[in-house]
Structure 1
Amino acid sequence: MKLVIAADHAGFPLKEEVRGYLERLGHEVIDLGAYNTEPSDYADFAEAVGKALAAGRAERGILICGSGVGVNVAANKMPGVRASMCHDSYSAHQGVEHDDMNVLVMGARIIGTALAFELVSSFLNARFQKQEERFVRRLNKVKAIEARNMPEAAKVESHTVK
């Protein structure tokens, strides 16, 4: 799978470990920074991931900051992004299966490397259950909210799932 990954300075060390893990699994990874632990702003990385997804550069994204909260809030301001912070494997796969989550968010100061690898695997192995009418109906309602409140979202993706 083609993925984008980014983190602020607090998430940089975990991002490096996750990026290496993804590459060992055979995924194509686009690293959008940070590239060191010098202080940086989480919002810049969330926006970069959102823009990369909107441009079709990757299927899914991974964002990491200290707590996960900052990049999660910022990422969800981007059209077409359905990001969620997950620190348990159930949420990491269920978010994809039921809600078509396309960005996994993790807090580097909250979880360790082993759990991060487990979450990434759960996220990447999950598929949206589009055969389930209730999940499609709910997702379409979310996309309609986005379209009403974020007009540029219409340019990013279709607002109905079939």
Structure 2
Amino acid sequence: MKLALGSDHVGWELKQEINEYLQSLGHEIVDFGAYSSERTNYPTYGKKVAEEVAAGHFDGGVLICGTGVGISISANKVKGIRAVVCSEPYTAKLSKQHNNTNIVAFGSRVVGIDLAKMIVKEWLEASYEGGRHTKRVQMISEIETNE
């Protein structure tokens, strides 16, 4: 898969580890920053990754900030994005199966490297089930287009 990766300064160190992990699994990764632990703003990176995923340039995205909340909220402001913040693998898996999420986020102050790897792995290996979930995902899309 081709994945977009982003974080703020708080998530930068964990992002480096996740980048290496994803590459070791054979995924193509593009890092949209931040590129150091120098203070920055998470909305910048949530928006960048979300726009790239929404445009279809990537199969999905991974975002990291202190809690995963702010960066996922920022990503969700982009039309077509369904970003989920996860602190355990089960939610990551079901978010893809039931909600067809296209970005997973987590917090470097909430999860460690091993748990972050499990979250990403479950999310990547899951597939959208469609069926009974299709109507609900469509309803989400209608909310963002005010229909």
The answer, yes or no, to whether TM exceeds 0.5 is yes
Match of 1:35 in 2: 35
Q: Give the alignment partner of residue 138 of structure 2, picking from 137, 140, 145.
A: 140
Q: Secondary structure at the match of 1:30?
A: strand
Please give the alpha-carbon distance, in whole angstroms, between the structure 2 residues aligned to 1:64 and 1:56: 21
Based on CA coordinates, which of the two structures has the bigger radius of gyration? 1
CA deviation string 1:52-87 (max 9, x = no partner): 112221010000001111101111111111001001
Unaligned stretches of 5+ in structure 1? 150-162
Output aligned runs, 1:120-139, within 5 Å.
120-130=120-130, 132=131, 134-139=132-137
**Is 2:74 aligned against 1:66?**
no
Cα distance in 1 for residues equivalent to 2:62 and 2:104: 5
- Please give the residue correspondences for 1:96-135 in structure 2 after superposition, counting only pairs within 5 Å: 96-130=96-130, 132=131, 134-135=132-133
What is the TM-score when the length of structure 1 is the normalising length? 0.89
- Which whole-Å deviations, capped at 9, do the CAs of 1:98-140 have from their partners, x for residues lacking one? 000111010001110000000000000001002x2x2001111
Which amino acid is 1:13 matched to?
Answer: E
Task: Determine the C-alpha separation between the residues in 1 that align with 2:142 and 2:73.
Answer: 19
Distance 1:33 1:27 in 2: 18
Following the alignment from structure 1 to structure 2, what is the Cα–Cα distance between the partners of residues 84 and 146?
16
Give me the CA root mean square deviation. Answer: 0.9
Secondary structure (helix, strand or coil) at the match of 2:94 reads helix
Sequence identity, in percent?
Answer: 38
Q: 5+ residue gaps in structure 2?
A: none
Cα distance in 1 between the residues matched to 2:70 and 2:137: 24
Give the count of matched residue pairs. Answer: 147
Query: Where has structure 1 moved over 6 Å in runs of 4 or more?
Result: none
TM-score by length of 2: 0.97
